């Protein structure tokens, strides 16, 4: 993308930029991710984890300990609060990294 520029000093300084003729975009994800910080654990090995983001298609999980190899199914346990009620959840998760 090339922008043309002009700098004029009379009667006052300003910079004029032209709008690009073409703009290209690329979708990186199928759905948007929402940042969060939900504490949980992996039941099989009692590993503490943090759910760092959520989307319609999945979640980002962070841990200091390796959770398993790609394709491993693990059980994620965490609690969410909805309308002042704590709801415990246990979900089977397929690791993709």
Q: What is the mean pLDDT of the chain?
A: 83
Quote the tokens at residue 18.
Answer: 């032209």
CA dist., res. 77 & res. 65, Å (int): 16
As given in the structure block, the two tokens for residue 12 are 């006052």
The residues with which 60 forms a beta bridge, in sequence order, are 53
Chain centroid offset of residue 65 CA:
20
As a whole number, mean pLDDT of residues 69-75 equals 84
54-66: average pLDDT: 86
pLDDT at 50 over 70: yes
**pLDDT tens digits, 25-34:** 877 767 788 8
The token pair that represents 79 in the structure block: 């609690």
Q: For the whole model, what pTM was predicted?
A: 0.61
Note every long-range contact of 32-35, with CB atoms under 8 Å and residues 24 or more positions apart, other chains counting.
33/60
pLDDT reading at 1 higher than 60: no
């Amino acid at each position: 993308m090339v922008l043309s520029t002009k700098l004029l000093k009379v009667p006052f300084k300003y910079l004029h930029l032209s709008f690009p003729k073409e703009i290209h975009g690329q979708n990186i994800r199928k759905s948007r991710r929402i940042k969060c910080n939900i504490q949980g654990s992996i039941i099989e090995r009692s590993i503490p984890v943090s759910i760092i983001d959520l989307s319609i298609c999945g979640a980002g999980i962070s841990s200091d300990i390796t959770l398993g190899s790609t394709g491993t199914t693990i059980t994620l346990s965490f609690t969410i609060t909805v309308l002042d009620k704590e709801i415990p959840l246990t979900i089977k998760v397929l690791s993709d990294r």
